Amino acid sequence: MGMSRLSVIAMLIAASVALAGCADDTVQLDSAMQDAAGEPVSVQEQSLSERLTELDRAIREEVGIARAERFDQCQLLAVGKRACGGPEFYMVYSTASSDAAKLQALANEYTELRVQQIAQTGEMSTCEMLPKPGVMLEGGICKVVASVDR
């Protein structure tokens, strides 16, 4: 009878360890639904973030390699919004190889969603403004030139 009692205790210990492993998985799933500050991430915030990622990808795909024959085909696109104002980033594109109207529509939607995201999350910023860069045409490709206005 002493041996069967040890078997029961061993089975209880094994079951406890197995259940403890399940509890750890639950904690990991719960923590996956939290942001870096440990706050719960809403489904709306997650889908907003996903849409921003899709738009960013679509903008970059439409820009591609900004090939141009003339300087006037090189244009600058302001994209997004920073918490303190100003664009999140600039992209140079070519009207010869990209659809300017489509790019502007994508950038406008991205910017509107960033404004919503900033309002929903209370995002803060260092309030550093990005200087508007210049553009140049070099070797048939439009490129960004760092701004001298600082």
Q: How far apart are CA 114 and CA 130, in angstroms?
A: 16
pLDDT, greater one: 123 or 32: 123
pTM tops 0.75: no
Which residues are paired to 94 by β-bridges?
A: 74
Phi, psi of 136 (to 5 degrees): -145, 160
Q: How many CB atoms lie within 10 A of CB 106?
A: 23
Q: What is the pLDDT of residues 54-78, one digit of tens each?
A: 999 999 999 999 999 999 999 999 9
Tokens (6 digits) for 89: 């980033």
CB count within 10 Å of CB 13 equals 10
Cα–Cα dist 87/80, whole Å: 5
The yes-or-no verdict on residue 19 having pLDDT over 50 is no
The token duo for 35 is 């942001």
Q: What is the pLDDT of residue 128?
A: 85
Q: What H or E segment, with its residue span, contains residue 48? A: helix 43-63
Distance CA 13, CA 116 (A): 51
